[in-house]
């Protein structure tokens, strides 16, 4: 029996690659993102290349009740979601006090509230069945202070902690929860977050490499997967011994864009 994965943020980047990987394993899909044209193109590609069933649900997940609408769509169409991949999210560069408050609140709603709501809704069904998997796209940012991306780093810290907590709670029900924690990845995030022209993404991993590591970790039931080995070593064995002020200063320097001439 083919397993169905619901992927948010599926129109590009890691989400798109997660959809391709799952389809390559003969899995059916529910694709959720704002851009309907991109979703329809991906649906045609996956159905043609892998002979799987793909549903699309164009939706802005940063709006109120979006998670409930996604869940209702699956209920109406009698779609059993076996894998929930909460991938949608965005960041934004700049000092917190200088950024538009509404943008950061929108970020919190998408990166945190929608992820929590979707997890809660679909976990109800997974618990009743006694099976299921969740893959939450977090970030190595979740282990650090983030000057110039304060709200984004904080939302990813939430995702890491939340994922570990519910993973423990759901283990007796044969449900695993995995937090994928990439370092810089070459996706649209660089442009949307305002980091074009900086050097942070020069040696970034590809979206496919990152998605594959996350997908495989989910299948194995791992709680945390840090997709960049070097960053993973620093997080585990170096950062705990560094002063918080030094870490914040270092992160700020890494995220400071060069002055335009």
Which one from 71, 152, 173, 215 is the annotated catalytic residue? 152
Cα gap 25→38, rounded to integer Å: 22
Give the E-state strand segments of 9-153 in sequence order. Answer: 28-33, 54-58, 83-86, 132-137
28-33, strands of its sheet edge to edge: 54-58, 28-33, 4-8, 83-86, 132-137, 175-181, 224-226
211 touches 14 (CB < 8 A)? yes
Which tokens sit at 218?
């989910």
Range 210-228 burial, b when 16+ CB lie within 10 A, else e: bbbbbbebbeeebbbbbbb
In the residue annotation, 83 being an active-site residue is answered as no
Beta strands in the chain (DSSP E): 4-8, 28-33, 54-58, 83-86, 132-137, 175-181, 185-186, 205-206, 224-226
Burial class, 108, CB count within 10 angstroms (exposed 0-12 / middle 13-18 / buried 19+):
middle
Long-range contacts of 120-123 (CB under 8 A, 24+ apart): 121/67, 121/68, 121/71, 122/6, 122/71, 122/81, 122/84, 123/166, 123/170, 123/175
Active-site amino acid positions: 152
């Amino acid at each position: 029996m083919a397993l169905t994965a619901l992927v948010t943020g599926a129109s590009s980047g890691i989400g798109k690659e997660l959809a391709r990987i799952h389809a390559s394993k003969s899995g059916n899909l529910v694709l959720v993102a704002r851009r309907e044209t991109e979703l329809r193109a991906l649906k045609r590609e996956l159905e043609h290349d892998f002979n799987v069933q793909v549903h699309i649900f164009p939706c802005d997940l940063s709006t109120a009740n979006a998670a409930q609408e996604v869940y209702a769509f699956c209920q109406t169409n009698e779609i059993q979601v076996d894998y929930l991949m909460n991938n949608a999210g965005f960041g934004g560069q700049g000092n917190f006090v200088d950024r538009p408050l509404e943008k950061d609140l929108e970020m919190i709603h998408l990166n945190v509230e929608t992820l929590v709501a979707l997890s809660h809704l679909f976990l109800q069904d997974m618990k009743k069945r006694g099976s299921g998997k969740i893959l939450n796209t977090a970030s190595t940012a979740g282990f650090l202070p983030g000057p110039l991306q304060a709200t984004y780093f904080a939302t990813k810290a939430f995702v890491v902690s939340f994922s570990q907590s519910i993973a423990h709670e759901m283990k007796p029900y044969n449900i695993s929860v995995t937090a994928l924690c990439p370092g810089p990845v070459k996706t649209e995030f660089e442009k949307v977050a305002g980091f074009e022209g900086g050097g942070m993404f020069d040696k970034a991993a590809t979206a496919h490499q990152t998605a594959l590591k996350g997908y495989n970790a989910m299948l194995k039931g791992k709680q945390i997967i840090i997709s960049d080995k070097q960053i993973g070593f620093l997080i585990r064995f170096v950062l705990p011994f560094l002063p918080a002020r030094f870490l914040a200063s270092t992160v700020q320097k890494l995220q400071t864009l060069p002055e335009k001439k």
